Structure formats: C-alpha cells, structure tokens
Amino acid sequence: MTLSGRCRAAGLAVGAGLGFAVSRSWLFDYAPVILALAVVIGMLAGEAVTPRPAREPGGASLRVRRIGDYLAWPDLVLIGLLGAGVAGFTELRTPPRPGHEVDYFGTAEPVTLISTFVTLGLLAALTAVLVWRIVRSPRRGDDEAWRQALVQRVVHGCGAVFAIVFTALAFWYADHELDWRGGGGSPVWGYGLSLLAGAGLVLVAHFAGTLVRPSTPPELAKKGEEGQEGAESPQGAGGAREGTSAR
C-alpha cells in the first residue's frame, strides 16, 4: 500500500473507530460528524502526498470537459440508494440509545438522526463541488487519467461514508427488531435488516477499495516509466550529447 493509500485507510479506520466509541456515549449525535471529518482529513492527506502530473508545453485543448464524462453512474445510483436507505430507517421503530446513560442516570435523550442527515447532506454537497472543481480545473498537459482517478476517489470517499453509516444503522435497528420476545420487535424485520447490513458491508469494501489503491493511474505510471527509461537509455544520452555538439 502506498503512502497516500495509508493516509486514506487511516482516515477510514479512525473515523469508524471513533464514531463507534462516540455513539456509545452521550455524544451519540456527533458520531457521523466525526466519521465524515476523519475520512475527509485522511483523503486530503492522501492527495497532499500524491503529485499531479507536471505541466507540459502545448497542453491547451479545445475539448469541452463535461462532469458526466468523469462520473460512474452506477456509483451515484448506489450512493443514492444508501441515502434513501438511511432516510428509510426513520419509518421503523426507533431503538433506544446504544450508550449506557439509562444505566447511570436513569434517563437519556431521545434518539434522532438529524445530525446524520445534515452530515450526509453536507458531504454530498461538498463532493459535488469538488468534482466540479476538478473537472473544470485548468489542464496541465496529459492529465486526463489523473483527473478521472481523482474524481473517482472523491466520489468513492463519499460513498464509503454513506455505506458505513447505512451499515451501522442497519445492524443497530436489526438488533432492536430481533428482540421480539420482550421488546416487541419483529423477527422478519430483524433478519431482513441484518441482510441489508451485510450488503452494506459489501458496499463499504467496494468504495473503500478505491481509496487504498495506488493514487497514480496505471497509464500515468507507465508513461512516467517510459520517459525515465528513455532519458536513461544510451540512445537518449547519445542524442543529448549530439544535440549539445551541434549547438
């Protein structure tokens, strides 16, 4: 795993870990905020150590770049479904807080998902703005592969947060529904939500896998290697000497 991949993986791990720990305390409402912030910081750190292709002379192009050309629509559909799934949990019986406030204080604040909706909404808006800025940024030589890879990482970072939140809520609601003997739950809903949580884990792996792969696309890496080999080859060195002698 590259350094940039480690940064993004660390953001995911820290966000998921701290988010779970916070959700078990009176800071329950801040769990999605901490998750999203950690993932964003990890991605920013990963991009900071990922160099953009150097500017090349004559890189101007009349080609109009459209945002739709850089987006994978199946990923957007999955993110939309995850968002709809998170919103759908509000139609189910709300579980008690997962913390221990009732054990210690005898009472606890009612559970709401307002902070979750606000966090996911802001994250989706930030992702849209970043994608627009990346696509519309000035061209620097042959940087299309880099641009496409960066857009994919940004979208998949957003998708990873959506998938983690959906999976955590699905497991939490499933556990509440599976208590049908004394808690009035429904085994059908419990097992159904458990299967949805399993599907959420698959989507977490799908989106997170892109974040930990090498940041430099294979096309750029191959091009850089070919350029380096040409500069170090005897013919390249000889050509450089001949050019110098001619001058």
What is the average pLDDT across 149-157? 92
pLDDT at 12 > cutoff 90? yes
Pick the more confident residue, 52 or 246. 52
Evaluate whether residue 183 is within a structural domain.
yes
Across 48-62, 88-102, 165-179, least confident range: 48-62
What is the average pLDDT across 198-204? 95
Evaluate whether residue 53 is within a structural domain.
no
User: What is the domain count for the chain?
Assistant: 1
Give me the pLDDT at residue 61, please. Answer: 54
Give me the pLDDT at residue 236, please. Answer: 45
Structure tokens belonging to residue 152: 């994919």
Give me the pLDDT at residue 26, please. Answer: 84
Which domain range does residue 148 map to?
Answer: 73-214
Please tell me the pTM assigned to this model.
Answer: 0.80
| Angle ∠(21,23,29) on CA atoms, nearest 5 | 135
Evaluate whether residue 44 is within a structural domain.
no
Average pLDDT, the chain: 80
Across 6-10, 54-58, 169-173, least confident range: 54-58
Give me the pLDDT at residue 223, please. Answer: 43
Evaluate whether residue 34 is within a structural domain.
no
Evaluate whether residue 9 is within a structural domain.
no
| Angle ∠(190,124,7) on CA atoms, nearest 5 | 90
Evaluate whether residue 16 is within a structural domain.
no
pLDDT at 159 > cutoff 90? yes
What is the average pLDDT across 115-128? 95
Q: Which residues contact 52 (CB under 8 A, 6 or more apart)?
A: 140, 143, 146
Give me the pLDDT at residue 64, please. Answer: 63
Evaluate whether residue 184 is within a structural domain.
yes
Pick the more confident residue, 2 or 236. 2
**8 Å CB contact between 82 and 162:** yes
Give me the pLDDT at residue 96, please. Answer: 80
Short-list 82, 214, 207, CA closest to 157:
207
pLDDT at 22 > cutoff 80? yes
Give me the pLDDT at residue 42, please. Answer: 93
Hey, CA dihedral for 218, 221, 223, 226, is it positive or negative? negative
Evaluate whether residue 31 is within a structural domain.
no
Short-list 162, 150, 169, CA closest to 204:
162
